[in-house]
Amino acid sequence: MSTTRRGFVDAVGNTPLIRLEKLSRETGCEIYGKAEFMNPGGSVKDRAAKWIIDDAERRGTLKPGGTVVEGTAGNTGIGLAHVCNSRGYRLILLMPDNQSPEKYQLLEALGAEVRKVPVVPYSNPAQYQHQAGRLAQELPNAVWSNQFDNIANRRAHVESTGPEIWQQTEGRIDAFVASSGTGGTLAGTSEYLKSRRPGIRAVLADPPGSSLYEFIRSGEVKSTGKGSITEGIGIARITANFNGAPVDSAVHVEDPETVTMVYRLLREEGLFLGSTSGINVAGAVRVARELGPGHTIVTILCDGGAKYTSRLYNRAWLSEKGLLDAALAGGLPRLMPGRRPPCRFLPVRQRTNRPECGQFPIPYNNKHWSGPTDVKPLGQTYRNPAGRGPRRRGRLAVPLPGQGRQGLL
């Protein structure tokens, strides 16, 4: 079998299954993660993007030089950006304004036109998906990819993810566990696997604030909890992709459990992943313990962690969210962004305040280090280089090596 691929689109899919060694030993089960972060665009959403664009081209709604419009929390937009670039389409994305900064930066680097919109309930006409639909109608030669209710999304997993898992496990699979945003991955993969063997369990892993956990349990669309740090999953309605999904049960996974699992995966398995992968694996471990030793459980490793370094992998942010202890329980590395030495305040004598004194030698680790030429006085004014202005005594805030200008207060 050839390993060459014809461009980006042909490289989507056929991702490996990774055995999670430590968790498998702990539970006595075989726990596997489908490595969707190894797709060329970096996430499971590459599959939906490919199938949605292919479908629009087949139906003739997307014509050469056209525009694709989507409302997305990030990963679908990234997949669409790659596909649109490879096929010459313009892409406009409407995104909630509460996503990680890295996602916006990446999408803009990929050439997408990103429009941030406030987070409001789905019932509000200003919700980002509604805005995307209206914008597509207003623009010439434009289509709304509509990932939530376009069943080409679900079909991507019926036709690719499900068959791949069945082949990779040689049909020896007892349960499939996944979270749900649009519903495409969980519904489509479960549909295929159950078509091969109805006894395979399909389990939803749901975060706080979502309504799907209660829907699976009681049939009522009712939220559980007040919200989650996870991005792109959990929803307050039943999408066309999720409707009729053959899901047997659901587990509710709180944020601390998700964060601990994310750091366990990094420390124990060497896998640098996003929060959705954390909730999926946490759900898989719960199902493994419920089923008992000797069973095989597969879940989805949705995307990598590089898009979350300012949040999920940032000590200060974790502390702000009350999740630092959860990260430490999972094996938080010692060196992380946000853990900088405090700014040192050093007294400067008035006689050094001369036009020719632009730098100050500071002893640091038995060496002299010259501070920047534009160090600022803290709460005081000094004579400027032109020789004008009053002379006063005070203190200068000087960043030590490695702190950068952000150390100035």
Judging by beta carbons within 10 Å of its beta carbon (0-12, 13-18, 19+), is residue 349 exposed, middle or buried? exposed
């434009």: which residue's tokens?
142
d(CA 66, CA 77): 16
| Chain position carrying tokens 């496990």 | 169
Q: Looking only at Cα atoms, what is the longest distance across the chain?
A: 85
Question: In the beta sheet, which residues pair with residue 70?
Answer: 93
Active-site annotation holder among 45, 50, 194, 307: 45
Q: Mapping DSSP to helix (H, G, I), strand (E, B) and coil, where does residue 302 land?
A: coil
Q: Which positions ≥6 away from 167 have C-beta within 8 Å? A: none
Which residue carries 């047997």 as its tokens? 248
CB 43, CB 11: distance < 8 Å: no
- Is residue 136 within a helix (H) or strand (E), and if so which, with residue range? helix 128-138
Instruction: Classify 285 as helix, strand or coil.
Output: helix
Cβ neighbours, 10 Å, residue 33: 27
Nearest Cα to Cα of residue 375 among 352, 303, 315, 390: 352
Q: What element of type H or E holds 196?
A: helix 184-196
DSSP 247: -
Is 103 labeled as catalytic in the residue annotation?
no
Lateral strand order in the sheet of 67-71: 113-117, 90-96, 67-71, 142-144
**96: three-class secondary structure by DSSP:** strand
Give me 294's structure tokens: 């000797």
- Residue 308 to residue 182: CA distance in whole angstroms: 21
Active-site residues: which are they?
45
